[in-house]
Amino acid sequence: MESGGRKPRATVELLAIGRYFPPSKPSAILASHADPDIIASLDRWMTSTQATLYISRLWERFAPHFMHSEGNLQFWDPVSRILFSGDLGVSMASSADAACTVTSLAGHIPRMESFHRRYMVSGKVLRLWAYMARTLAIRMIVPQHGALLAGAAVGEFIDWVSDFSCDVDHLTQANYTVPA
């Protein structure tokens, strides 16, 4: 709830639209520009629908930052050796699967891959994070959403992200051409 007991704007928008059709059904999101007054609730729409975002090429590289900004924090508890990792390590799973602890990463990667490709900014940043994480005696990684990672899955996850390609890693010269 926002201050004063009001519901957040994105929630109000979803409730209002829900009177006319299911909020998960839109196939497209049209954003005239990347100002917060236009796409402040983009994260809610992108995670609750399969909609395609249509935005000017000028603004497309900024859109991910409205969903998961670079200022997010992780917390390390040296006593329990738990790393609360925020969105790093998130998996898209049923509530039953999310309640499980993953101890071997291989079968779990399909639940994590698309989220990390979409929301992580660059492989270089992930490699730097992995280098730092290897200096900690991590017993468990607890992401904001999805299953906990423990045992062998901790080291396997760190290895996986250290070689992961995402977001800006996929840009090519084709993304920077003069329109015809």
Concatenated DSSP letters of 82-99: EEEEETTT-----HHHHT
What is the reported pLDDT for 1? 44
Say if residues 10 and 38 touch (Cβ distance below 8 Å): no
CA distance 26 to 45: 9
CA distance 101 to 147: 6
Say if residues 114 and 163 touch (Cβ distance below 8 Å): no
CA distance 157 to 91: 12
**pLDDT digits over 130-162, tens only?**
999 999 999 999 998 899 999 999 999 999 999
Lookup result for tokens 């996929």: 170
Per-residue pLDDT band at 179 (split at 50, 70, 90)? confident
Could you tell me where the DSSP H helices lie in the chain?
9-17, 36-39, 42-48, 57-60, 63-67, 95-98, 109-119, 123-133, 152-162
Per-residue pLDDT band at 39 (split at 50, 70, 90)? confident
Q: The pTM is what?
A: 0.63
pLDDT of 65 above 70: no
pLDDT of 9 above 60: no
The chain-wide mean pLDDT, for the chain, equals 83
Arithmetic mean of pLDDT, 80-93: 92
Say if residues 72 and 129 touch (Cβ distance below 8 Å): no
